Structure 1
Amino acid sequence: MPLTMKDVNRFEAARPRLDAIAYRLLGSASEAEDAVQETFLRWQAADVGRIEVPEAWMTKVLTNLCLNQLTSARARRESYVGQWLPEPLLDGDPMLGPAETAEQRESVSYAVLTLMERLSPSERAVYVLREAFDYPHREIAAILDITETSSQQLYHRAKKHITDGKARAEIDEAAARRIVEEFLTAATTGRTEPLVRLLTADVIAVGDGGGKVPARTKAFEGASAVAKFMRGLFKPSKAKRVLVGGSPAIHLARANGAPAVVVVLDGRVIGVLCPQVTAEGIVAFRSQVNPDKLERATEVWASAEHGEPLFHAF
């Protein structure tokens, strides 16, 4: 039976929540959109009049589609060129979803999305549904076709992995922004000492170019190595201008709910640098420069208000 307009509207009302769930599960906006669209096609093919709780049905279908995607993604990422990092979302992107609680904000942070790559698909699903969307374990068990006890166990394991992976006290956003501003100022001085003072001893820097943009396949490790890399990254040179096709604008903005450096050239986002700032200093830099993972960021950037760049690189 064809969907009525009421049935279509019911799905569209649920789409923002489904988008936010899928993004957290997959770490990719494009893959999340595909999963939600496939959920709609299944809704379209279902006898919706016999579905007692449509929102629960949609969530179950979507989550299981994402679980299948995560299982196959592991094999695909083994052949991925270089490091695989999540797709960053800029402030104002509706796919970021709810941000009323600390748990919701943390579940979409770039650091946590990266840590969630270490979880099994089931652990990730339970963690997202429980932590970010406050589903009770009874409902999660029904969605995943497991027992309530299994859901609780998966959640506790996932929570421990995430907590152990963070292992440092976070700081408030205003303080984090000040540190990122100091980092940008220091990075343009041409000296490593001011940078080293902002970093933890075990800081890392990793980038995702997807084989399409040059990015080191192995992470830089340690304050001295990372400081030298960052100094070189922002050092002007004709070769860099030729490589990227101009002099990109450097903006301090927000990605995944935290301060981030957005690199823009001719209105196109060509890089998003996500520093992980803790009470001890900057513990990680994760750079997304794969153009396939920056298309949505470019769309959001073009539709949003943003101030003048801090400076132009190169």
Structure 2
Amino acid sequence: MDQRTATFQQHRRRLFGIAYRMLGSPAEADDVLQDAWLRWNESDTDSLRTPEAWLVTVTTRLAIDRLRALRAEREHYTGFWLPEPLVEAADEDTPHALLERADQVSVALLRLLEQLAPHERAAFVLRQVFDVDYPDLAAMLGKTEAACRQLVHRAGERVRAARPAQVVDPLEHQRLLEAFAAAATRGDLAGLRDLMAPDAQLVSDGGGKVRAFGHLLQGGQRLAQLYYATFLRLGAGVRYQPVRVNGQPGLARWIDGELESVQAFEVQAGRIAAVFVQRNPDKLARVRAHLSQAGGPARLEQ
């Protein structure tokens, strides 16, 4: 590996993190990184004092341009749009996997970031997630420091207004989902209801490819009845696999041995406050391949 390639690979994880948080799609993020690599490969890197800053700047600007195009496409998306999740089996807790998850952003937050303008989103991601200093942020976005501070402030206000400030213990989150999966598997309607917040919500993304709710489902009782109805209809054909969804405890649901959905959960005050169900088969392709290689639902029979 030559020095130019080694330098790019050294920063690839961070560049992918920026692009994914900007676009909500691993495939789109990979495309941005490919374009960034081509520009890097064609540039005069010998004169660069800080290659990382150059790479982050190019990746960010490419992601902004790509996001502008995607926003037009997503305006015509069928039903709710949810990001394509980054999923790994729950037992993949190697030191490397833990490091990879350290700065991941939840599905709930990525959905909120969709409401931000491209430059707002870039400023928020670079500052709040990657802790980029304002002078560097201004250079990367081609704006003044004052303008960048305003972008970050405005984006932060919008995110805080829609997202609870409560920090949930990962172990509590995991135990809650284990109890939820057990109740859903045995058809325990009362148990499901007790685990749901009274005002819990469910958002599902089918992308027009499979059936999904075209409206927001609200109410813990209603959501409990939904999972109970799935048990009544499919019984032992349903399996819930503990997974990590964007670094947080989540569930993969398998029906008759096929991956049907990936479900991310937002927890508040010890109960499930929101469920984000990704059913779009195009957005599950990578997940299906990864989990199938890792054992899929077969591990649940062991």
Which category of TM-score, normalised to the shorter sequence, fits these structures?
Answer: 0.7 to 0.9
RMSD (Å), alpha carbons:
2.8
The structure-2 alpha-carbon separation of the partners of 1:165 and 1:309, relative to structure 1 and needing over 3 Å to count, comes to farther
**Which residue does the alignment assign to 1:67?**
64
The alpha carbon displacement at 1:298 in A equals 2.7
TM-score (norm. length: structure 1)? 0.85
**Which residue does the alignment assign to 1:169?**
166
**Which residue does the alignment assign to 2:285?**
295
State how far apart, in whole Å, the 2-side matches of 1:133 and 1:18 are.
11
Residue deviations 1:152-184 (CA, integer Å, cap 9, x gap): 111122222222212252320111111112222
State the secondary structure of the residue aligned to 2:232: coil
State the secondary structure of the residue aligned to 1:234: helix
State the secondary structure of the residue aligned to 1:214: coil
Equivalent residues of 2:203, 2:276 under 8 A apart: yes
2:252 alignment partner AA? V
Equivalent residues of 1:16, 1:97 under 8 A apart: no
State how far apart, in whole Å, the 2-side matches of 1:191 and 1:302 are.
28
The alpha carbon displacement at 1:306 in A equals 7.6
Q: Does 1:223 align with 2:220?
A: yes
Q: Does 1:40 align with 2:37?
A: yes
**Which residue does the alignment assign to 1:182?**
179
Equivalent residues of 1:251, 1:308 under 8 A apart: no
State the secondary structure of the residue aligned to 2:233: coil
The alpha carbon displacement at 1:42 in A equals 1.2
State how far apart, in whole Å, the 1-side matches of 2:234 and 2:258 are.
21
The range that moved more, 90-99 or 15-24, is: 90-99
1:81 alignment partner AA? T
1:197 alignment partner AA? D
The structure-2 alpha-carbon separation of the partners of 1:112 and 1:44, relative to structure 1 and needing over 3 Å to count, comes to same
Residue deviations 1:91-147 (CA, integer Å, cap 9, x gap): 3698997554xxx35xx1121111111112111111111122111011011000011
The alpha carbon displacement at 1:50 in A equals 3.3
The range that moved more, 127-136 or 192-201, is: 192-201
**Which residue does the alignment assign to 1:8?**
5
The structure-2 alpha-carbon separation of the partners of 1:52 and 1:132, relative to structure 1 and needing over 3 Å to count, comes to same
The alpha carbon displacement at 1:280 in A equals 4.8
Q: Does 1:150 align with 2:140?
A: no
State the secondary structure of the residue aligned to 1:235: helix
The alpha carbon displacement at 1:19 in A equals 0.9
The structure-2 alpha-carbon separation of the partners of 1:182 and 1:123, relative to structure 1 and needing over 3 Å to count, comes to same
Equivalent residues of 2:172, 2:270 under 8 A apart: no
Equivalent residues of 1:204, 1:285 under 8 A apart: yes
State how far apart, in whole Å, the 1-side matches of 2:99 and 2:110 are.
14
State how far apart, in whole Å, the 2-side matches of 1:235 and 1:254 are.
27
The alpha carbon displacement at 1:14 in A equals 1.5
The range that moved more, 290-299 or 89-98, is: 89-98
State the secondary structure of the residue aligned to 1:237: helix
For these two proteins, the number of residue pairs brought into alignment is 297
Residue deviations 1:73-101 (CA, integer Å, cap 9, x gap): 1111111111100111123698997554x
Gaps of 5+ in 1: 242-246
State how far apart, in whole Å, the 2-side matches of 1:97 and 1:211 are.
35
1:225 alignment partner AA? R
* Among candidates 255, 264, 267, match of residue 274 of structure 1: 264
Residue deviations 1:27-48 (CA, integer Å, cap 9, x gap): 1111000000011111122232
Equivalent residues of 1:16, 1:95 under 8 A apart: no
The alpha carbon displacement at 1:302 in A equals 4.2
Identity %: 37
The structure-2 alpha-carbon separation of the partners of 1:14 and 1:49, relative to structure 1 and needing over 3 Å to count, comes to same
TM-score (norm. length: structure 2)? 0.88
Q: Does 1:260 align with 2:257?
A: no
**Which residue does the alignment assign to 2:276?**
286
Gaps of 5+ in 2: none
More helix by share: 2
1:133 alignment partner AA? F
The structure-2 alpha-carbon separation of the partners of 1:271 and 1:306, relative to structure 1 and needing over 3 Å to count, comes to closer
The alpha carbon displacement at 1:51 in A equals 3.1
* Among candidates 113, 118, 122, match of residue 116 of structure 1: 113
The range that moved more, 247-256 or 209-218, is: 247-256
Equivalent residues of 1:207, 1:287 under 8 A apart: yes
**Which residue does the alignment assign to 1:244?**
none
State how far apart, in whole Å, the 2-side matches of 1:122 and 1:5 are.
34
Residue deviations 1:208-252 (CA, integer Å, cap 9, x gap): 1111121111121112222222222333339xx9xxxxx453211
Residue deviations 1:243-264 (CA, integer Å, cap 9, x gap): xxxx453211221121111124
The range that moved more, 215-224 or 293-302, is: 293-302
